[in-house]
């Protein structure tokens, strides 16, 4: 039992260090030795948890997917029970992320750009987008959208655009503009 606790704590330290480094420098900009130094662990400890750098990247992306989906769903839920308002309020998750971390953009867009087309990182990025779009489509259906899939794709584009523009322009106004555009779309199509 003690070994499992130690392993879990080490794994968490590794993932926290990797997340911070990947977030700031991109996937290709971070080496295993940097993660080891930032986590304060031995090389053997890293490799006991993640056999390869690709496994570490995959674990980081899976964890980020779970975290990001939870943040968007929480922001949506805070607006109440109206699915139209939830579709608009989910943009508050972007504002919250920018307030916490600054304008580093979307880790999935970054991974899609940096990862090889046949890599696990790319596959996880596609799965994240599909998962997000399924949730958005469900909300659009609940909101009574005339074409839920199309509205969900438009909202997804606004999310991705706000994250990319926020990174490029370093201006929080892009999120408010995306949120405003989402409100117009949602109420025009539902």
pTM for this prediction: 0.89
**CA pair distance 148, 140, nearest whole angstrom:** 5
Asked if 76 and 139 touch (Cβ cutoff 8 Å), the reply is: yes
Q: Which of 71, 76, 58, 77 is nearest to 15 (CA)?
A: 58
**CA pair distance 186, 190, nearest whole angstrom:** 6
* pLDDT given at position 7: 55
Q: Is 153 exposed, middle or buried (0-12, 13-18, 19+ CB in 10 A)?
A: middle
Mind listing the pLDDT tens digit for each residue in 76-116? 999 999 999 999 999 999 999 888 877 777 889 888 889 89
Mind listing the pLDDT tens digit for each residue in 142-155? 999 999 999 999 99
Averaged over 119-123, what is the pLDDT?
Answer: 94
Mind listing the pLDDT tens digit for each residue in 160-187? 999 999 888 988 899 999 999 999 999 9
Task: Return the structure tokens found at 150.
Answer: 């199309």
Q: How confident is the model at residue 62 (pLDDT cuts 50, 70, 90)?
A: very high
């Amino acid at each position: 039992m003690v070994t499992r606790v130690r392993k879990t704590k080490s794994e968490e330290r590794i993932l926290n260090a990797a997340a911070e480094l990947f977030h700031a420098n991109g996937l290709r900009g971070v080496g295993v030795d940097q993660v080891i130094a930032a986590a304060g662990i031995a090389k053997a400890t890293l490799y006991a948890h993640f056999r390869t750098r690709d496994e570490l990247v995959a674990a980081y992306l899976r964890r980020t997917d779970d975290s990001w989906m939870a943040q968007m769903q929480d922001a949506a839920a805070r607006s109440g029970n109206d699915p139209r308002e939830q579709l608009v309020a989910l943009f508050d998750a972007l504002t919250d992320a920018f307030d916490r971390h600054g304008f580093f953009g979307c880790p999935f867009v970054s991974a899609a750009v940096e990862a090889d087309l046949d890599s696990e990182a790319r596959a996880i990025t596609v799965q994240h987008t599909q998962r997000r779009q399924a949730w958005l489509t469900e909300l659009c259906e609940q909101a009574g959208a005339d074409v839920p899939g199309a509205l969900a794709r438009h909202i997804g584009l606004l999310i991705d655009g706000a994250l990319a523009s926020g990174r490029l322009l370093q201006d929080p106004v892009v999120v408010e503009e995306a949120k405003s555009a989402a409100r117009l779309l949602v109420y025009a199509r539902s």
